[in-house]
Structure 1
Amino acid sequence: METAILPSGWEKRLRPIQSPLSAAVGLALDPADLAVATLAAGREKDGPFVTALFVHRFADPDVVRARIQEVPVARLTVYGLTASVLEKRLERILAAPIPREIHPDTPACDTQEGDPSPHKDPSG
């Protein structure tokens, strides 16, 4: 059975979520941990999802970089991966233009439309 590749400590960063219509409580991954797992999966279709996490400020690229280093090496090698591979995937996503469907001009975004590098702090 395949499971997600996650950084150490992910269990401590789980976030409770609850619908106002139910007493049930679920647990969601921290967005930076989710980004790491998505980068590890390496599916081309996931690039816009990771971009949206950054554009809409759910996750910070620097935190994701640090979390990549927290993934146990043994866990990566089981799937033929290294931290370097995940970092390269992250850099490729950060360098790519924002897909139009992400709507870079939404209020939650701090970039200018057409900015090919939405992931960097605009103040410097």
Structure 2
Amino acid sequence: MAGFLTTHVLDTARGCPAQGLTIALYRIEGGERRHLRTLVTNDDGRTDEQILPASEFRIGDYELVFQAGDYLRATGQAGDAPLFIDEVPIRFGMNEATHYHVPLLLSPYGYSTYRGS
């Protein structure tokens, strides 16, 4: 099986998928971050394509940066500035060629993630 990466963002405050949230993917090598791509979530809170397709998959360290603040402002959940949560960086390693799924559960005052399936 070839490796690939997907994500899913759920707005736990509103109880729905987080549509229109921008996500950047970086590869971490030698302490340096290299931008690979930027995608936006669809109406199901997922990206229309794999965030890291099998054709580009490599074992290593990566970082997803979720632009939560922009999403929270767009949905009227931001509250007063400065925001409690703005960018959400999640750094993780992929050590085998398989499907990795890194979801984000988001609200204006908290978030969580896990290795999904």
TM bin (shorter chain): under 0.3
> Which one has a bigger Cα radius of gyration?
1
Q: TM-score, normalised by structure 2?
A: 0.27
Q: Is the helix fraction higher in 1 or 2?
A: 1
Q: TM-score, normalised by structure 1?
A: 0.26
